Structure 1
């Protein structure tokens, strides 16, 4: 599914359009635009009449503004707002907050406390366990153990998770590489990836278009591929057979990646088992080298 399918048009999202046209708006249109800019993620929850009442303008002003912004009507603008929230945009997930508040902190409401966030993390891990299942974890771990080389990659927050996965995997098997180093292109790196390797891609929302192109290219070249992604946003392509979904929704405007780390840990635990004596020999060597080098 593309951004356009989600209601996010290529010429910019709802807030971007408002800012681009703000100087040309009438006084009443600006009053309405200010309300939307103050709470962009809530637009999808209102009707045109409700939004007009909130801004103190007429429903006709709502119609004029959305048309000026390039939408066919209010419903299309609502879809743009909803699509941005579904893609994981923190701006659209951030509610109308009281001073010092965060997402879920609306005027007159208390923000969720630490205990609620811990419970949310536990719930996310439980939901992810149901989505993945032991058979899927075992299949991906077997691919990790059997590949000649493993290449990990990810962008934005997924880059951290890919790096964490590599650090876990290299304890018990060799030839685990980051697909690209700083300044390198994916094309240069993919030239070295063969069909007896495994490409381990972390693509948690919000994904960059480059990640989707990478997945399409890997599929076209028939490269073995394992994917760790979220369970909330469509991937725009047919998911590879070895796909692991994790629950990332949270009580804040930023996604919770606790479950993604738990999936990586589960894969590593299975990899330890599959690596057998060779894996144990490797960790012994690593620990001996740590001592020789005085590193830890």
Structure 2
């Protein structure tokens, strides 16, 4: 089992075997595993309404030598794992204000850290590529499809992958050094993410990585942008990801200049001919 799933999987597997006090603690941790990552043993015991001895027995039941060893795994999942790790039991989500504030913060922090000159260099590189590959799994597939759709306005040879029934090996075999890859790596990332990126780097294909804030920066990437995804609710916020996609698409269209306008005009003409709009 992948390490990022280890702690929560252990808790869930143990619940049915626990006595009343340990089960009370186990239920709390299963619902809000971030609490164990955030609190020391005494604080967690007080939060669950159990004794320190119960906390000690509980972590040993999970197979850890100590509370601190369990916290190490929980902290790892706090960075890479489920949204359960980021939900506080006291979060006030009774109105829209908390969501507006957090989403605005995420967009501001993400786009505010972006160098516009770098965005234009990315646009230039995308426009000059032999082929652009936009990669996304799980939740990232939606962002891949969106950016692909927007960039199609000015880039003819662009594809969102993998498609249904496709393997990445089929696409990797077709990638060349003159291509560009836009790789969405939002949580939860697939187990093969690292292997895919290493393979693309080894083939000399420039890769733009758009990830959440928890992913370690890839020094071999053409550009690696970390999007803020925190939320007051149980799901990750992806407003900053969409904002970044919008920025990249708009600047790429502007960088395309006259050639881009010609293609856009032809697309509009054909839409009128086919009565598609």
Superposed pair shares fold, TM > 0.5 = yes
CA shift for structure 1 position 217: 0.8
* 2:264 corresponds to 1:283: yes
Whole-angstrom CA distance in 2 between matches of 1:281 and 1:152: 24
- Structure 2 counterparts to residues 241-260 of structure 1, below 5 A: 241-260=222-241
Partner of 2:153: 171
8 A contact 1:131–1:246 mirrored in 2 = no
Partner of 2:45: 52
CA displacement 1:20-67 (0-9 Å, x = unmatched): 223333333223223322432212232212323344433222212211
Whole-angstrom CA distance in 2 between matches of 1:32 and 1:194: 53
Whole-angstrom CA distance in 2 between matches of 1:113 and 1:249: 17
CA shift for structure 1 position 193: 1.1
Give SS of 1:13's match: helix
CA displacement 1:75-121 (0-9 Å, x = unmatched): 12223223222225122223337xxxxxx24xxxxx25223322322
Give SS of 1:227's match: strand
Partner of 1:199: 181
C-alpha spacing 1:179/1:32, structure 2 compared with 1 (3 Å): closer
Partner of 1:74: 67
* 2:260 corresponds to 1:267: no
Whole-angstrom CA distance in 1 between matches of 2:217 and 2:104: 29
* 2:152 corresponds to 1:152: no
User: Does 83-92 or 198-207 show the bigger shift?
Assistant: 83-92
C-alpha spacing 1:31/1:254, structure 2 compared with 1 (3 Å): closer
Partner of 1:34: 27
Task: Give the structure-1-normalised TM-score.
Answer: 0.85
8 A contact 1:40–1:81 mirrored in 2 = yes
Partner of 2:214: 233
8 A contact 1:172–1:279 mirrored in 2 = yes
Runs of 5+ consecutive residues of structure 2 not aligned to the other structure: none
8 A contact 1:154–1:211 mirrored in 2 = no
CA displacement 1:204-228 (0-9 Å, x = unmatched): 2221122222111101111121111
Q: Number of aligned pairs?
A: 276
* 2:171 corresponds to 1:189: yes
8 A contact 1:212–1:235 mirrored in 2 = no
Runs of 5+ consecutive residues of structure 1 not aligned to the other structure: 98-103, 106-110
C-alpha spacing 1:242/1:67, structure 2 compared with 1 (3 Å): same
Task: Give the structure-2-normalised TM-score.
Answer: 0.90
Partner of 1:292: 273
8 A contact 2:136–2:162 mirrored in 1 = no
8 A contact 2:200–2:207 mirrored in 1 = yes
